[in-house]
Structure 1
Amino acid sequence: MGGTGTLKAVLFDRDGTLVVDVPYNGDPQLVRPMDSARPALERVRRAGLATGVVSNQSGVARGLLSLGQVTAVNQRVEQLLGPFDVWEVCPHGPEDGCACRKPAPGMILSACRTLGIEPSEAAVIGDIGADMGAARAAGARAVLVPTEVTRAEEIEAAEVVADDLQHAVELLLQTRVAPA
């Protein structure tokens, strides 16, 4: 794994991490930021780090929403939380066997290529084990921010667990969490 390991970007899961999870949401008006999302993102941006979103959107493969609806929701996220340097969306279902759907590393690797950094220079913040698995597979750092849907075994398996997004960002900025 190349790179210096210096943190240069923080990649966030969307649903359940940045915004309240509304399953298969295609309606921008239903987007509600998580309580600590704004201050956490402001802190990352003030630190001079790139920001990105890596989001599984299997509702597209399931025929429950269109890529256009996903884009509209993502635009609403940006209206509420500010611009992100990179967006990666996996429209595939679990059975499609793609390389992008978390816990596969594809979206993280693609985001890092877009940002011109090594995966070891990125951190992923998410709310479930698939987010942590994708970070680990890519060679990025990982911080779990559990919600009511996070399973106990996912919390136990996570190397770094934070109380909320602000805490996750502070852990990354203060301790420079080692790659998984």
Structure 2
Amino acid sequence: MRLLLVGAVIAVIVILWRYVRRTRRRKKQASPFAIPSGVSIGSIPLLEKDEIALFSLLQMAVQERYLVFSQVPLWSFVEIEAEAKVRAEILRRIALKRVDFVLVHPGSCRVEQVVQIEHESSQPHQAERQYIIESVLVAAGIKLTKLPLNKSYSLPDLTARLGLAEEE
């Protein structure tokens, strides 16, 4: 009889502990977002000086054929159709990957080309990041153009590298 009573007390304690834990989670999730005192948040440039020059040149090269956007998250312009676990894994791997520039068709609003800046320092994590981006772009059928940042481009040269010269 004592053993049954001890078991019941332990079961009640476990149930109460779970209930309290769940209600605390709900309270944490329900609290509004607030920036803690002492935290400073400011604005930073989206692009560096060299990237701004390339962005402006890209806009001139594509003229009215494409819209140009910068620093676009990879997951925002690809569609992944797969089993839930596989889809979640792919999304997890591409979650923080951004591409430098996208050329978007103004009618369909689909990304038709990605322009990546090749930086001089090639660290192992950047190589893996680039491999993931390239794999996703190939699978999605999106053209990728890589441009070294330290090179200056003329408008006709950039237009030719983007494959837009023959469309004129």
TM-score normalised by structure 2 residue count? 0.37
Larger radius of gyration: 2
Per chain length, whose mean CA-contact separation is higher, i.e. which structure has more relative contact order (CA < 8 Å, sep 6+)?
1
Relative to its length, the structure with more helix (as a share) is 2
TM-score normalised by structure 1 residue count? 0.35
